Amino acid sequence: MTVLRSRYMTVERIPLNRSSLQGNELSYVQEAISTGHSASKGPFSNRVVDLLRTELGAADILLTTSCTSALELSAMLLNVQPGFNVIVPSYTFVTTASAFARSGAELRFADIDPVTLCIDPDSVSALIDSSTRAVVPVHYAGRAADINRLAPLVEAHGNAALIEDNAHGLFGSHGGSPLGSFGRFSTLSFHETKNFSCGEGGALVINEKRDVARAHTLYDKGTNRAAFLDGRVDRYTWIDQGSSFGMSDLLAAFLLGQIEQRTDVMGRRQKLFTRYLKQLSPLEASLGIEVPPISGTHRSAYHMFYVLVSGEGRRDAVLRELNESGIGATFHYQPLHRSEGSRPWVKRNFDCPISDSVSSRIIRLPFFNTLTDSECDRVVEALSTALSHTA
């Protein structure tokens, strides 16, 4: 770990994210090795799936190599192809969009709401039509997108499905129901930066029974292996499209150790979020920042803590100063409606001023399960100092 030395003392760098063990990860990995089943759909995968299925009330769940691959699997399941369009927020990670583009869909970029930073239903309403196959909200930073307005919009367009990119939102809720339980499918990420991690990993959450059998086929590389293992056929073969999406049981074992500690992890993250908020909210006017909104009917998954500052030049100067003082603060997504990679998949220009503005003004602060109270306070102090230099 980088150690910075000032004239008077030695201070450790506070990274944006730090991986940590939460419970039985290592003993479970050892057990998984000794069972001899290290491929997908092993005993630890079954335990993770059972736990998540109960928490989310899902019809079924498939553990995947990443959230990206789960999004790709959802595109395959919807038979996304040229002639369809898919609506995603401009302000999101690349693969929320590219997972659908690679199936040949036209991409349409919606703007985000300036308060929640989630997809704006008014913007979706202006883009949706009878060729829309999917609308893909992201529950940004673990806070619910406006499902109450998005779900009826999607329902009113018969061909379209709601797919929640829930990379940030596991164990958050909206109106008492878990994030990830509203769409036909939702996807999870267990990448090292997420609240619960196995290095790289993800899941496809299947919320409708009608999709379960085909989802297993596509997941099993396009074969009827699931029917073979259940004794419904006496050999298995190629029957549909598919790919190799499965998470190794070794990773599932590690992940189980993390997810079993969900009450502690979520409690700690909520405390840290509240600590940042309590210290920074009273300074909003004097420091010229905006802090994330506190939700009423939502329970956040507390994935991230960020502030918005007044302009890009100021944001970049503050980030420089924070990084020089050993604080691993950073920016976030670059708006996808301006991206080079999206060009082959779009048919028009999109105007997403809020995505542009947020992307140029956001500062993400260190936020992870083992961040200590004193580290959190050091971040606030360094942020306040840097902001006062750029007022």
Ligand X SMILES: Cc1ncc(COP(=O)(O)O)c(C=O)c1O
Q: Kindly state whether residue 93 participates in binding ligand X, applying the rule CB under 6 A.
A: yes
Least separation in angstroms between CB 160 and ligand X: 20
Q: H helices within 166-211, ranges in order?
A: none
Question: Whose Cβ is closer to ligand X: residue 150's or residue 380's?
Answer: 150
Q: Is 382 in the site for ligand X (CB under 6 A)?
A: no
Which residues are paired to 75 by β-bridges? Answer: none
Residues, the chain, total?
Answer: 391
Give the footprint of ligand X on residues 60-89 (CB under 6 A): 66-68
Backbone angles phi, psi at 167, to 5 degrees: -55, -30
Nearer to ligand X among residue 186 and residue 223 (C-beta): 186
Nearer to ligand X, 52 or 387 (CB): 52
Q: With binding defined as CB under 6 A, does residue 300 bind ligand X?
A: no
Q: Which is nearer to ligand X, 68 or 207 (CB)?
A: 68
- Mask for 190-229, x = binds ligand X (CB under 6 A): -x----------x---------------------------
Least Å distance, CB 287 to ligand X, is 27
Give the H/E segment covering residue 308.
Answer: strand 305-309
Residue 80 and residue 94 in contact, taking contact as beta carbons nearer than 8 Å: no
Rounded CA-CA distance 270/262 in Å is: 12
Based on CB atoms, which residue is closest to ligand X, 246 or 326?
246
Closest contact distance (angstroms) between CB of 138 and ligand X is 4
DSSP 327: B
Dist CA 129 CA 84 (whole Å) = 10
Residue 95 makes contact with ligand X by CB under 6 A: yes
Residue by residue, DSSP assigns 83-109 as T-EEEEESSS-HHHHHHHHTTTPEEEE
Residue 198 or 226: the one with the smaller Cβ distance to ligand X is 198
Give the x/- contact pattern for ligand X in 308-347, rule: CB under 6 A. Answer: ----------------------------------------
Among residues 332, 261, 336, 352, the alpha carbon closest in space to that of 292 is found at: 332
Question: How far apart are CB 166 and ligand X at their closest, in Å?
Answer: 8
CA-closest candidate to residue 303, choices 168, 199, 156: 168
Nearer to ligand X, 107 or 287 (CB): 107
Q: Does 186 bind ligand X (CB under 6 A)?
A: no
| Distance from C-alpha of 177 to C-alpha of 245, rounded to nearest angstrom | 28
Least distance in angstroms from the C-beta of 202 to ligand X: 5
Question: For residue 270, what are its two tokens?
Answer: 């909520």
In the complex, minimum distance from the CB of residue 179 to ligand X, in angstroms, rounded to a whole number = 12
Residue 306 interacting with ligand X (CB under 6 A): no
Q: Does 96 bind ligand X (CB under 6 A)?
A: yes
Q: If binding means CB under 6 A, how many residues of this protein chain bind ligand X? A: 13
Contact 91, 352 (CB under 8 A): yes
Q: Considering the complex, what minimum distance in angstroms separates the CB of residue 190 from ligand X?
A: 7
CA distance 329 to 289: 15
Residue 68 or 116 with smaller CB distance to ligand X: 68
Question: What pairs with residue 106 in β-bridges?
Answer: 85
Tell me if 138 contacts ligand X by CB under 6 A.
Answer: yes
Q: Which of 165, 211, 249, 375 binds ligand X (CB under 6 A)?
A: 165
- Identity of residue 261: Q
Q: In the complex with ligand X, which residue's Cβ is closer, 304 or 382?
A: 304
Taking only Cα atoms into account, the Rg of the chain, rounded to an integer number of angstroms, comes to: 22
Q: Is 367 in the site for ligand X (CB under 6 A)?
A: no
First to last CA, the chain: 32
Looking at the Cβ atoms of 66 and 116, the one nearer to ligand X is 66
Virtual torsion, Cα 170, 176, 182, 185, nearest 10 deg: 30
Is residue 92 involved in binding ligand X (CB under 6 A)?
A: yes
Q: Residues 6 or more apart from 374 whose CB is under 8 A from it?
A: none
> For ligand X, which stretch binds (CB under 6 A), given 37-45, 77-85, 92-100, 178-186?
92-100
What SS3 class is residue 164?
strand
Q: Does 107 bind ligand X (CB under 6 A)?
A: no
Query: Which residues form the interface with ligand X (CB under 6 A)?
Result: 66-68, 92-93, 95-96, 138, 165, 167, 189, 191, 202
